[in-house]
Amino acid sequence: MARPRIVIVGAGFGGLSAAHCLAGIDAEVTVIDRRNYHLFQPLLYQVATAGLSPAQIASPIRAILRRAANERVVLGRVTAVDKERRVVTVEDREVPYDYLIIATGARHSYFGHDDWEHVAPGLKKIDDATFIRRRILTAFENAEQALDAEARQRFLTFVVIGAGPTGVEMAGAIAELAHVALRHDFRTINPRDARIVLVEAGARVLAAFPPSLSEAALQSLQRLHVDVRLGKAVSQCDENGVTIGDQRLEAATIIWAAGVMASSAAKWLGVEPDRVGRVKVGQDLSLPGHPEIFVIGDTACTVDSNGQPLPGLAPVAKQQGIYVARLLQAKLKGTASPPPFRYRNYGTLATIGRRAAVADFGWIKIDGTLAWLLWGLVHISFLIGFRNQLVVMLDWLWSYLTFQSGARLITGTEPD
Ligand SMILES: Cc1cc2nc3c(=O)[nH]c(=O)nc-3n(C[C@H](O)[C@H](O)[C@H](O)COP(=O)(O)OP(=O)(O)OC[C@H]3O[C@@H](n4cnc5c(N)ncnc54)[C@H](O)[C@@H]3O)c2cc1C
């Protein structure tokens, strides 16, 4: 009898966890991704702010799964799912499945202002990170050559929109770049004159954290001279700056960290998505009426025991991937299915710069140096590949000791 075919779309945190768990089972597993590497998104902001190089936070999917003899990797973009014929369309090919796991993550959302994307890039891919890095470093170069004070100030103004973890980490890292790493590098300008503005429509930074940690994060940002504007939404964005509330601010670099929208899976599956495009799934993470299709991670809308939607976090996606893999193993073996999925929150962390971070473990909340060390340890341990773990650790140690940041390259602009 032919072995059951399990197709996993997306080799991010959710898809890869499922693939790891399904390695060696009596089934053919196909992992499809539009790129040939797994990306550790939580450290993307360090690539965007010249702290790390792209290869340090990405690993080839084939290399990660090389020991799983029952798994194969297909490089390609999925564009449709035919639920009746049980096939996935990957560009011009069809891949049949008996069980399908969709883990295609999320993308930026500009809340109806899609025209802002080219002036206020978001951070989701390596290309986004190197593009933002180019913008930030070029702004300092342009400021050095600016002929008048007004232009210089515009080049030295950086606006980050959205004060969730990504926005806070970006703002903190740009401030450190300006105040620490670049401080001796220019002759006409003082990079410390850079103005970093973090704009948040809500009442506090890191709104998903307890208020005491939001306050600690705010104070850390202010110590780094970040100008935090709370309770104000950006109403206009263009090449020359932003309008915050009714105030105009001239800025050459604007970064979007305000909203995400799930991938197109709901469209492929022909189901009504939730408000942010996610597919509503049952307690076993399957699509209602289709026990052979599972949706996990940022693409799925699942709730916790209080009925609250689970956040778009790597541990949620990982635990869901493991859960679905175990459920499939039970199905294939004909044993009892595991109980409904329950997310175990082991804690959330965000860093604000050198020796500043916040950590919420529920039973204990910490900030400062200890939280920062924990943040570093957790991120190193979750990075895939011993080489990346070692290189990132050494890079961080080097930057910490020398106040330098190693990847200050402006790439993608040279004329032929
Ligand atoms: C800048 C940033 C910082 C973050 N920081 C943190 C943090 O500090 N802590 C934390 O817990 N979480 C953080 N997150 C969130 C975390 O990264 C996500 O919750 C997690 O990646 C979700 O996992 P996933 O498997 O659902 O999707 P992803 O990890 O995004 O993986 C989706 C995969 O699907 C592939 N894919 C998408 N569409 C297609 C298609 N059509 N065809 C084929 N392949 C496709 C993609 O290439 C990708 O490999 C951060 C996210 C970002 C963007």
Residue 42 reports pLDDT greater than 60: yes
> Which among 36, 38, 40, 41 is the best mutation to test ligand 1's pocket, defined by most ligand atoms within 8 Å of the CB?
41
Q: Distance (Å, rounded) from C-alpha 89 to C-alpha 83?
A: 11
Please report which confidence band the pLDDT of residue 353 belongs to, taking 50, 70 and 90 as the band edges: confident
**What does the pLDDT read at residue 386?**
82
Which residue's CA is the nearest one to ligand 1's atom 23? 13
Q: Which of 84, 141, 144, 169 is the catalytic position? A: 169
**What does the pLDDT read at residue 416?**
62
**What does the pLDDT read at residue 415?**
56
**What does the pLDDT read at residue 414?**
63
pLDDT, one tens digit per residue, over 100-134 is 999 999 999 998 899 999 999 999 999 999 999 99
Residue 327 reports pLDDT greater than 80: yes
Q: pTM of the prediction?
A: 0.95
Q: Where are the alpha helices (DSSP H) in 50-197?
A: 61-64, 126-145, 149-155, 165-176
pLDDT, one tens digit per residue, over 385-404 is 888 899 999 998 888 888 78
pLDDT, one tens digit per residue, over 252-301 is 999 999 989 999 999 999 999 999 999 999 999 999 999 999 999 999 99
Q: Where are the alpha helices (DSSP H) in 234-289?
A: 265-269
Q: Is 33 helix (H, G, I), strand (E, B) or coil?
A: strand
pLDDT, one tens digit per residue, over 141-170 is 999 999 999 999 999 999 999 999 999 999
Ligand 1: atom nearest CA of 45 is 1
Which residue's CA is the nearest one to ligand 1's atom 30? 105
- Give the pLDDT mean for 22-44: 97
Residue 242 reports pLDDT greater than 90: yes
Q: Distance (Å, rounded) from C-alpha 190 to C-alpha 401?
A: 22
Using CA atoms, how far residue 329 sits from 24, 130, 289, 319, in Å, is 11, 40, 20, 15
Of residues 304, 301, 272, the one with CA closest to residue 285: 301
Site residues for ligand 1, CB cut-off 6 Å? 9-15, 32-35, 41-42, 44-45, 77-78, 103-105, 123-124, 165-166, 263, 297-299, 312-315, 317
